[in-house]
Amino acid sequence: MSCYINFSTNKLGFTPEFLGRVKLVTSIASLLGVGLYNYFLKAVPLRKIFLVNTIIGSALGMTQVLLVTGLNRQFGISDEWFSIGDSLIITVLGQASFMPVLVLAAKLCPPGMEATLFATLMSISNAGSVTGGLIGAGLTRVFGVTRDTFGNLPILIVVCNLSSLLPLPLLGLLPEDSGDTDNEEIKHN
C-alpha cells in the first residue's frame, strides 16, 4: 500500500475537458493492462510480476516530480502530454499487476464461493486505497503542502513513491510458482 496524493490540478491549468480526456485514456490503459497480462505475463510467476511492477511503478511515479517542478517543459513536453503519458503507463502497470491477483484468487477459491471471495478481495483493495488516501492526507499535512503552498510537494511525492516499495519484503509469502498457463488445471474444474 502506498500513500496517494491529491493535489489541485488547477494549479497546472488543467480544464475539466482535459481531465475527462485523461479519464478516457486511463480507461483504455486498463484494457491495455489486461491485454498485456493475458498475452505476455500470464505464465510469469506472481512474485516476479509484483517485484518488477512495484519497482518500475515506483520509479515511474517519481516522474510526477518533473511535472510539479515544471522540468517537463524544459524537456519540451507540455503538462498535458506529460500527464496523459504518465497516467497511461501507471494505469497499464497497475492493471497488469492486479490481474494475477484475480487469477490466483480464482484458482484458490472453493467452488460456490466465487462471489464472496471477489467481494472480499475488492473490500480489501478498497480499504487499502482509503488507508493510502488517509496516509497521503496526513503526510500532506506533515509536509505543509496546501492549496497555495507547494514548496515541499516534490519531497512528498518522493516519500509516497518510496512507500510503495514497503511491501516488497512480503513477496516471500506468495506461492512460489503462481503463473497461469493454459495447460495448468484450475482448482474447481
Angle, vertex CA 56, rays to CA 22 and CA 32, nearest 5: 45
Query: Domain count of the chain?
Result: 1
Q: Is the four-CA dihedral 41, 46, 47, 49 of positive or negative sign?
A: positive
Q: Is residue 4 part of a domain?
A: no
Q: Is residue 125 part of a domain?
A: yes
d(CA 150, CA 140) in angstroms, rounded, equals 10
What band does 92 get if pLDDT is binned at 50, 70 and 90? Answer: very high
pLDDT at 3 over 60: no
Give the model confidence (pLDDT) of 67-81 as tens digits: 999 999 999 999 999
pLDDT at 182 over 60: no
Domain hosting residue 67, numbered range: 14-173
Amino acid 34: pLDDT? 93
Amino acid 109: pLDDT? 83
Q: What is the domain-level CATH number for residue 117?
A: 1.20.1250.20
Report yes or no: 161 and 58 within 8 Å, Cβ to Cβ: yes
What band does 114 get if pLDDT is binned at 50, 70 and 90? Answer: confident
Closest CA to 49 of 118, 97, 13: 97
Q: Is residue 5 part of a domain?
A: no
Report yes or no: 55 and 171 within 8 Å, Cβ to Cβ: no
Q: Is residue 107 part of a domain?
A: yes
Q: Is residue 180 part of a domain?
A: no
Q: Is residue 183 part of a domain?
A: no
Q: Is residue 186 part of a domain?
A: no
Give the model confidence (pLDDT) of 28-67 as tens digits: 999 999 999 999 999 999 899 999 999 999 999 999 999 9
Q: Is residue 8 part of a domain?
A: no
